[in-house]
Chains A and B, each alone.
Chain A
């Protein structure tokens, strides 16, 4: 049952990701990205991390991507016909794809990725609740990075106001 759901979400995510790269119309590409985010949320639920799943939908699909779509619609760029492509773009891309493929095969063949379980096993999460685990970690071990993030956001807000007030 779980494996069926996994392949379902994984397939949707891969197809939508191909759409993000392949579709010429930027609005469609952005929408495909939304589909990718939502299917990732499904995968996170399967990994017993519902909080991350919901945050993914709420923040990426619901807020950030909406702003992307907003900007794309306002600028309404012409549908990409491939005229602006640089000459050396294709060989370079092929080279990178080749390197990535080699890397993927090597990692899978050598099993370099560690498979050790951390202290947060599904049992622990089920016992304490996903949100509690995330919240406790955020406000104890990761308090400094967390506060730094809020400072970063403040800087961004101040920057926006400065830029907007100039005119």
Chain B
């Protein structure tokens, strides 16, 4: 049986999408466990040690958590706006997953004369696509906050909108430095160019700005003002329970994985090993885990910013620094005649 070429393309893309989603959702479940252990170690606690424990690790804890989430009552606030209240968690997860369409995972391999590329799409606007999808992610939080019809939710949503729009600018500008060196917006080409020298060696400032802005984008401590529990109960997710709450939680963790993957791809060579050693998906996974560990570490050690400090830092420190970085990069590129 022979298949039409476009049908093969569609089927191949569908399989890839399915694999990426399954891996990300499983990864999310076990990251919650990792986070509990990391924070427990930092706070000199033991962490989960009951559910399916073997060798000091509670292997079945995420599954127990998931079952518990599903069994919980799905609570609806009486005055909630039904449509947006339901839509919000879905939008949050969907936008978190979408970014993976353009991230290259492995060098291409050829099986039986058929070349398999380990990315879903290679477009010449991939970098902008990431930023566009990231900017859509705000809708999930805003609609969740507004749809709940609760003032704490609303305040959390407003805070997160202001925060995400502010830090998105620095985030985008930090990536411009890489773009100027690579001369391409395609993530596949950007990774291929880093086979020996990672871009972090040429863009150390851009790398630091990106990472700080990315932590703010995913609303993690010390930037988790949208859900600051001491002042806003739980921010935009106050009214959510059961699976809808789980979806918001899932979106946060998948966003963590996504920004880590972008940082690895843009600055640390993606699937490329250090100085060209054994390229492959294992490097990408290691780098992502490293970034996620740093984020958990920050959560365990740093106190939360005050809101005016957060805004001042974003607009008066990160943004000018990102602009200066672009300026210096441009001058150097002209001087060396690239």
Contact = CB atoms under 8 A, between A and B. Distances in A.
A51 B157 CA distance: 30
A55 B83 CA distance: 28
Given A51-B128, A70-B161, 9 more contacts: A31-B84, A31-B143, A54-B128, A54-B131, A57-B135, A58-B132, A63-B135, A69-B146, A74-B158
B83 A28 contact: yes
Instruction: Classify chain B: how many residues form its interface, as a range.
Output: 20 to 34
A122 interface: no
Interface in B1-55: 6
Contacts of A12: none
B85 to A, nearest CB: 12
Given A34-B139, A62-B135, A66-B139, A51 B146 contact: no
Contact of B125 (A28, A34, A50, A74): A50
Question: Interface majority SS on A: helix, strand, loop or mixed?
Answer: helix
B128 A129 contact: no
A130 B185 CA distance: 10
Contacts of B138: 62, 66
A63 B165 contact: yes
- In order of increasing CB-CB distance, the 8 nearest A-B pairs are A62-B135, A58-B132, A57-B132, A54-B128, A50-B125, A54-B125, A73-B146, A54-B132
B33 to A, nearest CB: 33
B165 to A, nearest CB: 7
A62 B6 CA distance: 32
A43 to B, nearest CB: 15
B187 to A, nearest CB: 13
Nearest to A65: B139
A70 B157 CA distance: 9
Nearest to A41: B132
Contacts of B157: 73
Contacts of A1: 6
A61 B154 CA distance: 20
Contacts, number: 63
B123 interface: yes
Interface residues of A, number: 24
B136 interface: yes
Interface in B103-132: 123-125, 128-129, 131-132
A61 B124 contact: no
A158 interface: no
Given A27-B84, A50-B123, A66 B165 contact: yes
A130 B132 contact: no
18 contacts: A1-B6, A50-B125, A53-B125, A55-B128, A57-B136, A58-B128, A58-B132, A61-B132, A61-B135, A62-B134, A62-B136, A62-B138, A66-B138, A70-B142, A73-B142, A130-B124, A130-B125, A131-B125
Interface in A85-122: none
Contacts of A70: 142, 158, 161
A57 B154 CA distance: 24
Contact of B124 (A27, A50, A55): A50
B154 to A, nearest CB: 7
A31 B146 CA distance: 13
A1 to B, nearest CB: 6
Interface string B207-246: 0000000000000000000000000000000000000000
A24 to B, nearest CB: 13
Nearest to B128: A54
B136 to A, nearest CB: 6
A129 B132 contact: no
Contacts of B134: 62
Nearest to A1: B6
A54 B129 contact: yes
Contacts of B142: 66, 69-70, 73
A149 B154 CA distance: 34
A110 to B, nearest CB: 37
B326 to A, nearest CB: 15
Contacts of A58: 128, 131-132, 135
Nearest to A76: B146
Nearest to A72: B146
A62 B130 CA distance: 12
Interface in A16-43: 27-28, 31, 34, 38
B166 to A, nearest CB: 12
Nearest to A53: B125
